[in-house]
Structure 1
Amino acid sequence: MLKYDAIAIGTGSAMNIVEAMLRKGNLRIAVIDKDEPGGICLTRGCIPTKNLLYPAELVRILEKSGEFGIDAKIEKINFNKVMEKMHSVINPSIGMIKKGLSSSPNIDYYQEIAEFIAEDMLQLNTATSSQVWAQKLP
């Protein structure tokens, strides 16, 4: 069993708590997230949504431009290019967070699913089925 001072589940706003705990002292912290690091806002919420809404807004503006005497025509929408642009915005941030989590000497980062098997213990769904325990689950 792997023992920690704290376990943080998720890499979104939970990371604020992890950072505060690390400033308090030499604590060992497990950070577990089944998805890419950064939380929902970065990986599939606010930021990707806004990056996909902007091209849609441009299409709508061009479609209504005739009302203002501007003749504009959309010849093609390259959805793959729209998605590439969105990923070019979020992937660098995901990479920086992943690098920070992996390089911190006081953090063990697990990108996998975990489930509670006791009030203070989680089972990681790894090939070895490791268990992690902590006094605090912020």
Structure 2
Amino acid sequence: MDKYDVVVIGGGPGGYVAAIRAAQLGGKVCVIEKGHLGGTCLNRGCIPSKAIITSMKLLSLIKSSSSFGIDVQGYQINFPKVISRKDEVVLKLRQGIGGLFKAKKIDLKNGDYSNRFRAA
């Protein structure tokens, strides 16, 4: 059985920052995450929605470009590419957190470990 100084439940923004700081202070750290690192904001909330919104803002600029003296003809929305770009942004950021965990030697346990806790 592994022994840790700090076990963080959840790899969202609060959890991964706490884990990194504990490791910086010399602790042996484990993070338990049942989903993907980054939590709701990174995986399903803020970041994905902003990636899609950025694409739509660009579309809006293209549509109004003639008022700036720029005529754009034949543009079209490729929604699968918009979603693919969003997925790439999320993956890159998630991998960044994973890289920090590796650099700080933080163990990541994926899954539901709720039945494996015992009192210290």
Q: Given the two structures, how large is their TM-score scaled by the length of structure 2?
A: 0.71
Q: CA deviation at 1:49?
A: 1.1
Structure with greater proportional helix content: 2
Aligned equivalent of 1:14? 15
Moved more, 70-79 or 13-22: 70-79
Q: Which residue type is aligned with residue 109 of structure 1?
A: L
Consecutive unaligned residues of structure 1, counting only runs of 5 or more, are 115-121, 124-130
How far the C-alpha of 1:56 sits from its partner, in A, is 1.9
Contact 2:43 2:90 in 1 (8 A): yes
Counterpart of 2:4 in 1: which secondary structure? strand
Q: Residues 31 and 110 of structure 1 are in contact (CA less than 8 Å); yes or no, is this contact kept in structure 2?
A: yes
Contact 2:23 2:104 in 1 (8 A): no
Aligned AA (1:15): Y
Q: How far 1:78 sits from its partner (Å)?
A: 0.7
Identify unmatched segments of 5+ residues in structure 2: none
Q: Which amino acid aligns with 1:111?
A: N
Q: Secondary structure at the match of 1:22?
A: helix
Amino acid at match of 2:77: I
User: Which residue number corresponds to residue 52 of structure 2?
Assistant: 52
C-alpha RMSD over aligned residues:
3.0
**CA distance in structure 2 between the partners assigned to 1:49 and 1:28 by the alignment:** 35
Counterpart of 1:14, as a letter, is G
Residue identity (%): 30
Query: For each residue in 1:33-82, what CA deviation from the matched residue of structure 2 results, as whole angstroms up to 9, or x when unmatched?
Result: 12221222222222211110122223344555678887656653111111
Q: 1:89 Cα deviation (Å)?
A: 2.1
Higher strand share: 1
TM-score of the two chains, using structure 1 as the length reference: 0.63
- 1:55-94 matched pairs, under 5 angstroms: 55-63=55-63, 75-94=75-94
Q: For 1:110 and 1:132, how far apart are their aligned partners in 2?
A: 13
Indicate if the aligned counterparts of 1:66 and 1:72 stay in contact, CA closer than 8 A: yes
